[in-house]
Amino acid sequence: MDIRIELTKNPKVKPTDESKLGFGGVFTDHMFLMNYTEGKGWHDPRIVPYGPIPMDPSCMVFHYAQEIFEGMKAYRTQDDTIQLFRPQENFKRLNNSCERMVIPKLDEDFLLEALKKLVEVEKDWVPHQKDTSLYIRPFIIASDAVLGVHPAKTYIYAVILSPSGPYYKGGLNPVKIYVETKYVRAVRGGMGMVKTGGNYAASLIAQEEASREGYSQVLWLDGVERKYVEEVGAMNVFFVIGDEIVTPALTGSILPGITRKSVVEMLKEWGYNVNERRLSVEELEAAAASGQLKEAFGTGTAAVISPIGELKCNGKVTVINNNEIGPISQKLYDHLTGIQWGRLPDTHGWIVKCC
Amino acid sequence: MDIRIELTKNPKVKPTDESKLGFGGVFTDHMFLMNYTEGKGWHDPRIVPYGPIPMDPSCMVFHYAQEIFEGMKAYRTQDDTIQLFRPQENFKRLNNSCERMVIPKLDEDFLLEALKKLVEVEKDWVPHQKDTSLYIRPFIIASDAVLGVHPAKTYIYAVILSPSGPYYKGGLNPVKIYVETKYVRAVRGGMGMVKTGGNYAASLIAQEEASREGYSQVLWLDGVERKYVEEVGAMNVFFVIGDEIVTPALTGSILPGITRKSVVEMLKEWGYNVNERRLSVEELEAAAASGQLKEAFGTGTAAVISPIGELKCNGKVTVINNNEIGPISQKLYDHLTGIQWGRLPDTHGWIVKCC
Ligand SMILES: Cc1ncc(COP(=O)(O)O)c(C=O)c1O
Ligand SMILES: Cc1ncc(COP(=O)(O)O)c(C=O)c1O
């Protein structure tokens, strides 16, 4: 498919002070759009000026949340190359999300080609300062203007771009996490393993209540027994217990993070004893009590590695590693960000150059 | 608050053949809109020509499904009054949905006043033929143009109207229901008890697979033990077992239907032994085997009462009441539709006249 390009006649002023960049509030001049119509398939791929999409008020996405998304970044290296980190994995996950949410799948190679073209058009929007990046948000919404509960016959695939500042303004810093015992995000048989709006909608109230208590995110437990650790807000989670590194297994209610996958692969390469298995809060608390819980950290595109300094569960506070960044967290952070921003060689073939 | 009214200059042609009316595909000339902005509250209530709403592609509703809705109907009586059925219950449930989804609540009295005004403006759109109605869809969407996962600071409340045909084209007719054992719709601690898009998004794949096997809807089981009956697609469910009428208790993962509530109240008045309690598939199958499962039916705004003629669970088919409409289903259907369309006196104070 040929990608039609219509350049803006009114380019925006780019953020002049990159040190003030936040997350997800500023968008570039253009976006990528493509439509699906039953019988016709995905068609009319185009790069057009960023702007509002007129939506009929009856559109399915407003009522039944048939919608999915992805999140990744473009990084500017010191020699001014723009590069992506494992984007094929994001498009593979997008297609998995399509399958669960009954959305017609897309050609992953074409999506990557289209993304590279869009990033090339917007290359001056990729910020320059350390730890800044261009956040990439592909998403699909059901656009049928009809109120029946069934999969739509028309969809919009869009990619929007947002120049973003460092996740940690003051450098890598341990966070306080609230173990959620009242609300549930997802359950096996549900849709927790895909990136769809409803999972995030379900999480808002818990995040609100936790942040009112001074906790930055919640750690979800499984929906069945409410005993086993699942994931944190927009991150997967790892615990260093004795000489084992544990991350919850992908049992169907957890998002298979691309950072998680990369971390598991790196730790194995480095000879660590990493296991994907069930991990109960009870086991965690026992490990903390006996001094065996040495480190904990979240992994995700936004923060890369997020050391966890404190867990609160049922009123009980567990401080981890004296609320300091642990050696494994630091090493992973340095290596992953090193590869992403091109300061370290890409020995895994994880990097895709854009321009 | 004053409601501003801007009438359309291009009224649409109304459906001429009401016997061809379907569901949710045709919309009236006007819609009601109102905005929320943090600090300012809900403001600018207005009735304006129906048409597309321009949405920034980064709008939260597209990504994190912070959205809720309601569903009710306006009925035309034989003396040409237009009336609503328990609309206060819908607005109460809307506010419950707001609470769970961290959306600012609304003034229920004002919502009813606004709805009556909108229906009055559109009164000629309420169809005339037997069993037709004007379907009413209030909904709220998060409209912040920013990509962070947290409750929005701006929202749109909208009401759209759709003239709708009879749910059963050929009159009341038993349906075949597939008992879902693979997918889960909602779990306690989740958001199954409110009317939010994600619950419906989660259900699409199961509905698709069931309809491929010739079943019209799925019966959901609880997400924890996958043993207890919950609800059907967009209906609550009742079973007549011996001389007891059972409907699943509202344990937190089931939508508290307004038809369900009305049915429970009527059955109690009529002296039936109705119980809201846990009901396992096992108990149902045993009752069927011993000849005690006499009737089953769904309840919801769309179909009012939907007799269930067949259940399929784990490959086993249970035929109920010889696949015929049971006497209790028929009696409830006649009474409820009688009250709704004004053929029977409203002895409960359930009816609100519009114009
Ligand atoms: C629910 C959830 N879990 C985990 C992750 C981490 O995934 P990734 O490493 O691919 O960014 C994310 C963020 O993308 C997420 O939204
Ligand atoms: C999931 C679900 N359960 C039950 C119902 C029935 O509720 P009501 O009787 O209020 O229409 C509906 C439909 O509104 C629904 O969507």
**Tens digit of each residue's pLDDT (9 = 90 or more) over A39-91:** 999 999 999 999 999 999 999 999 999 999 999 999 999 999 999 999 999 99
Does B207 reach chain A within 8 Å, measured CB to CB? yes
Cβ distance A150 to B207 less than 8 Å, yes or no, reads yes
Question: Are residues A266 and A290 located together in one domain of the fold?
Answer: yes
Residue A346 in domain: no
Residue written as token pair 């089953």: B296
Residue B81 in domain: yes
Residues 6-35, chain A, touching B (beta carbon < 8 A): 23-25, 27, 31
Closest ligand 2 atom to residue B262 Cα is: 9
* 3-state class (DSSP) for residue B127: coil
Let me know: does A191 contact B202? Beta carbons within 8 Å: yes
**Tens digit of each residue's pLDDT (9 = 90 or more) over B58-68:** 999 999 999 99
B187-203 as b/e, with b when 16 or more CB fall inside 10 Å? bbbbbbbbbbbbbbbbb
Question: Are residues A235 and A281 located together in one domain of the fold?
Answer: yes
Residues in contact with B277: Cβ distance below 8 Å, sequence separation at least 6, in sequence order:
B246, B248, B249
Q: Which of A84, A195, A235, A238 to mutate to test the pocket of ligand 1 (most atoms within 8 A of CB)?
A: A235
Let me know: does A267 contact A333? Beta carbons within 8 Å: no
**pLDDT reading at B355 higher than 90:** no
**pLDDT reading at A167 higher than 90:** no
Q: Give one word for A314, left, alpha or beta, with left for phi > 0 and alpha for psi -120 to 50.
A: left
Closest in B31, B52, B62 to A67, CB measured = B62
Return the ∠ at Cα B251 (arms to B246 and B257), rounded to 5°: 65
- Region B275-291 average pLDDT: 96
Last residue of a domain, one of B164, B195, B212: B164
Percent of chain B with pLDDT over 90: 96
Distance CA A219, CA B93 (A): 29
Nearest-CA distance A125 → chain B (Å): 17
Residue A118 in domain: yes
Eight-class DSSP state of A216: S
What pLDDT, on the 0 to 100 scale, is given for residue A87? 98
What pLDDT, on the 0 to 100 scale, is given for residue A171? 77
Structure tokens at B90: 């819908």
Question: Are residues A114 and A182 located together in one domain of the fold?
Answer: no
What pLDDT, on the 0 to 100 scale, is given for residue A168? 77
Is the beta carbon of B127 within 6 A of some atom in ligand 2? no
Q: Which residue of A has its CA nearest to B186?
A: A190
Let me know: does B142 contact B98? Beta carbons within 8 Å: no
- What is the number of the ligand closest to the CA of A231? 1
Eight-class DSSP state of A169: T
| Residue B342 confidence class, pLDDT cut points 50, 70, 90 | very high
Structure tokens at B257: 């239907």
Distance CA A44, CA A126 (A): 26
What count of other Cβ atoms lies within 10 Å of the Cβ of residue B209? 16
Rounded to 10°, the helix A258-269/A327-340 angle is 110
CATH number at residue B222: 3.20.10.10
Closest CA to B251 of B189, B177, B175, B182: B189
Residues in contact with B90: Cβ distance below 8 Å, sequence separation at least 6, in sequence order:
B70, B71, B72, B138, B258
What's the number of domains chain B is made of?
Answer: 2
Question: Are residues A224 and A245 located together in one domain of the fold?
Answer: yes
Residue A348 in domain: no
Question: Are residues A160 and A217 located together in one domain of the fold?
Answer: no
- Residue A125 CA, ligand 2 centroid: distance in Å: 47
* 3-state class (DSSP) for residue A50: coil
Question: Are residues A30 and A155 located together in one domain of the fold?
Answer: yes
- Region A263-273 average pLDDT: 98
What pLDDT, on the 0 to 100 scale, is given for residue B321? 96
| The residue count for chain B | 355
- The per-type count for chain A, helices as H runs and strands as E runs, is 7, 19
Residue B353 in domain: no
Question: Are residues A14 and A127 located together in one domain of the fold?
Answer: yes
CATH number at residue B93: 3.30.470.10
Residues in contact with B183: Cβ distance below 8 Å, sequence separation at least 6, in sequence order:
A189, A190, B202, B203, B205, B206, B218
Residue A355 in domain: no
Return the ∠ at Cα A91 (arms to A199 and A35), rounded to 5°: 85
Closest CA to B318 of B334, B295, B347, B352: B295
Question: Are residues B23 and B135 located together in one domain of the fold?
Answer: yes
Residue B203 in domain: yes
Question: Are residues B159 and B201 located together in one domain of the fold?
Answer: no
Is the beta carbon of A254 within 6 A of some atom in ligand 1? no
Question: Are residues A277 and A304 located together in one domain of the fold?
Answer: yes
Residue B26 in domain: yes
Question: Are residues B30 and B146 located together in one domain of the fold?
Answer: yes
What pLDDT, on the 0 to 100 scale, is given for residue B54? 96
Distance CA B351, CA A325 (A): 63
**Tens digit of each residue's pLDDT (9 = 90 or more) over B143-173:** 999 999 999 999 999 999 999 998 877 778 8
Q: Which residues of B touch A56 (CB under 8 A)?
A: 51-53
Last residue of a domain, one of B164, B192, B227: B164
Last residue of a domain, one of A112, A138, A164: A164
Question: Are residues A201 and A327 located together in one domain of the fold?
Answer: yes
Residues in contact with B39: Cβ distance below 8 Å, sequence separation at least 6, in sequence order:
none
Domain span at residue A286?
Answer: 175-340
- pTM of the full structure: 0.97
